[in-house]
Chain A
Amino acid sequence: MSEIYKEQIASDPVPATTRLDRLAARKRIILLILDVLFFIVAFVLVLAFCYYLYSYRQLLVLYLPVFLDGLRVTIWISLVSVVLAIIFGLLGAFARLSRFAVVRWLAMIYVEVVRGTPILVQLLLWYFGFGAVLTQMGIDPYRIVYSLATTLQINSLFQDSNFDAYLFGIIGLSFNYGAYLTEVFRSGIQSVEHGQSEAALSLGMNSRQIMRHIIFPQAIRMVIPPFTNNFITLIQDSALLSIVGLEELEHATFALALPQVNPGNKMFVFIFGALFYLVICYPLSLFAHYCEARIAKAY
């Protein structure tokens, strides 16, 4: 019986298309044409943007060394700040999870105050507040560090006259991000199941071994996406150091753009400076998306 049915279907000359099928096919073709048109227009726009950059090439060649110097300062300050912020964050996380209530309360006050005030106010406090107080007391951190470096024969690294801005800028940034990283590390440590540390205790490990071999490796993979997002925000917040007088990328952009008389030139310099930040931050955000996707896949 089924063989006769199959024969009939196989001998059908043309498969029947309904009106709905033809409409759907037409809609797909229209969407495909719109997509192709869009890619052509996008390609033309990218070429137009490259031509826009090219039309300012004299200004570009003149200002590029200043931008690259600012970029160097921004990258260096961000890396040093993030290392110090990780140290502050780990200290804060262990303090938040400590046995002693006083230590827990101190860490909570630190996190709440630092996260509740703007980072600009904190940077101003470190540089104009504590910096001025130190100058009044007669302590000059540049002289101390320079004489220390002279005894170690590395004082050529500290020739900068703007050392105070570097010092208080790095301290301010790392103090602020230490509070955010405290919360990130604390939630990463607490996200490891309690059963893991209970099993490790039953196997006879002490708490330092548990932290190092069991909790830390598993907490790291929960910590990496928020940590990368915080790193991207730290790089963008290092632009605020231009207000304190540090010669980094945003300061270079502002100092080069403001004297321009022609509005087109002014806009170009601002856009070019923002482009540098985009070039640093966009690959990092792609990396953060990739890490999040891999972690989501793992579970």
Chain B
Amino acid sequence: MDLAVRAFPAFLSGAINTVLYCISSFPLALLLGLLLSVLSNSRFTWLRVPTRTFIEIIRGTPMIAQIFILYYGIGAILGVYGLAGLINSWTAGIASLAINYAAYEAEVFRAGFLSVDKGQTEAAYSLGLTRGQTFFRIVLPQSIPFMIPPFVNDFIYMLKDSAIVSAIAGTELTSVLNFWATRNSSNPLPLYLIAIVLYLLMSLPTSYVARLFERRLRAAL
């Protein structure tokens, strides 16, 4: 039990790093996902098909493979040009989390834009607004309440997927767990218990708040 007490501060700082990873990469994922969804609905084939191909590639490969490509592959290529300082475990982790989740957010955005009544766009065109103006002033603001529950769910998934960043030796909760577990391999279970409790403390209240929010939202609609 004193192992658990000794380990707890390190695990807590690891959990704070996990939350930092997710808070940094989720807004990036949202912005990139918005861009991808707008491009994938475009009239121009030369914008639509590469974007859809990119989304299918990101969704078809495991995230750990994407992290390795970014950290080791692009890191090595940047090393040739002397830019190796750009890639450390923080930037590679945040970038790969953002790119991976952008592909899923693009689907959420698309469903959100389809949920806005078509009459709104028709009325906007009849009033003389251009396509860009209708999108940013009419469709996007009305679709946001519909898209918030899937976004919160994806944030909870991101809290869990940030554990994969431990594969490139981050300072994440799972990295701390690995570090302590290899040094205490005779008594590993209390460490796993602390890690599981910390992850549950991060994800369960968020999902409870999300369900509350979703119920309020559905009542308001």
Binding site for B on A (CB under 8 A): 31, 34-35, 37-39, 41-42, 112-113, 116-121, 124-125, 128-129, 132-133, 136, 232, 236-237, 239-240, 242-243, 250, 253-254, 257-258, 263-264, 266-267, 270-271, 273-274, 277-278, 281-282, 285
Contact = CB atoms under 8 A, between A and B. Distances in A.
Given A34-B46, A266-B76, A282-B60, A113 B200 contact: yes
A103 to B, nearest CB: 21
B114 interface: no
B107 to A, nearest CB: 12
Given A112-B204, A274-B65, 10 more contacts: A31-B44, A34-B46, A121-B174, A121-B199, A258-B72, A270-B72, A277-B60, A277-B61, A277-B65, A278-B57
Interface string B173-188: 0100110011001101
Contacts of A240: 62, 64, 164
A121 B49 contact: no
28 contacts: A31-B44, A37-B46, A113-B196, A113-B200, A116-B207, A117-B195, A120-B164, A121-B163, A121-B196, A129-B189, A136-B186, A239-B62, A240-B62, A240-B64, A240-B164, A242-B64, A250-B68, A257-B68, A257-B73, A258-B72, A266-B72, A267-B77, A270-B68, A271-B73, A274-B66, A277-B61, A278-B61, A282-B60
A240 B178 CA distance: 14
A120 B196 contact: no
A128 B65 contact: no
Interface string B39-66: 0000111100100000011011111111
Most chain A CB within 10 A, of B76, B162, B189, is at B76
Given A239-B65, A285-B56, A117 B200 contact: yes
Interface in B142-189: 160-164, 166-167, 174, 177-178, 181-182, 185-186, 188-189
Contacts of B62: 236-237, 239-240, 250, 274, 277
A258 B71 CA distance: 11
B170 to A, nearest CB: 12
Contact of B73 (A35, A39, A112, A266): A266
A162 B17 CA distance: 34
B174 A118 contact: yes
A184 to B, nearest CB: 15
Contacts of A136: 186
Which 7 pairs from chain A and chain B are nearest by CB? A118-B163, A263-B76, A236-B62, A239-B62, A118-B160, A38-B46, A281-B60
Most chain A CB within 10 A, of B56, B65, B178, is at B65
A86 B204 CA distance: 25
A247 to B, nearest CB: 15
Given A38-B49, A128-B185, A118 B56 contact: no
Contacts of B166: 120
A129 to B, nearest CB: 5
Contacts of A282: 56, 60
B127 interface: no
A254 B67 CA distance: 11
Nearest to A113: B200
Interface residues of B, number: 48
B8 interface: no
B162 to A, nearest CB: 8
Nearest to A39: B45
Given A239-B62, A285-B56, A124 B174 contact: yes
Contacts of B162: 118
A242 B67 CA distance: 14
Contact of A263 (B45, B46, B77): B77
B69 interface: yes
A179 to B, nearest CB: 12
A228 B76 CA distance: 36
Given A121-B196, A237-B62, A274-B69, A41 B46 contact: yes
A286 B77 CA distance: 33
A121 B166 CA distance: 10
B64 A116 contact: no
A133 B189 contact: yes
Contact of B163 (A42, A120, A277): A120
B79 interface: yes
B121 interface: no
B188 A129 contact: yes
Contact of A116 (B46, B74, B200): B200
